[in-house]
Amino acid sequence: MKKKSFLNEEHEGFALEFEVIATLFMMTVFVVVILYTTRVMNVQRYMNTVLTSTAATASRWGGTNTNAYRRNVSSTPLLSTAQQQLNYIAGDYHARISGYPNKISYDSQPITVKISYSLPSIFSTTGKARSVDGSSYDMYNTVKNLSMSVQVNSVMSSGKLL
């Protein structure tokens, strides 16, 4: 009597073969990766919008925290408002915005705004691979210290109003 493989056995109704199982698994992984990539691109696009609008506002008012901005726009600092927007949309990306100078000291001084962030793990439970000797390797270590920055010149001239 020959032994038959379980996957090649015919069952009543339908046969569940390895190819069917593998195809379903690959389709599931493909859909998960596509959804993850789409969300990452969407959040990065939003962070880029916050970055450029913050840089444009800092350029307009001569720095990231000037008297002219506080008196004419808001008493809340510009970078705090931008950070609140980042936390609202991209909380799991741990995005932090920074910028300098608070106010320009000469006319051609550039204003720099930077967002540092990390991507969330696609499979949060399988983020670390452990070897036999006990050492571990973080598979997502390369996507933890990402940043984008923009540098603009100030539209406002330096002076006592800043």
- For the cut 70, the answer to whether the pLDDT of residue 102 exceeds it is yes
What rounded mean pLDDT belongs to the chain?
A: 85
Q: Round to whole Å and give the CA distance between 119 and 90.
A: 10
Q: Which residue has the higher pLDDT, 79 or 159?
A: 79
- For the cut 60, the answer to whether the pLDDT of residue 13 exceeds it is no
Q: Confidence class of residue 129 from pLDDT cuts 50, 70 and 90?
A: low
By percentage, how much of the chain surpasses pLDDT 90? Answer: 56
138 strand-pairing partners:
128
**pTM of the predicted structure, to 2 decimals:** 0.76
Q: Round to whole Å and give the CA distance between 74 and 87.
A: 19
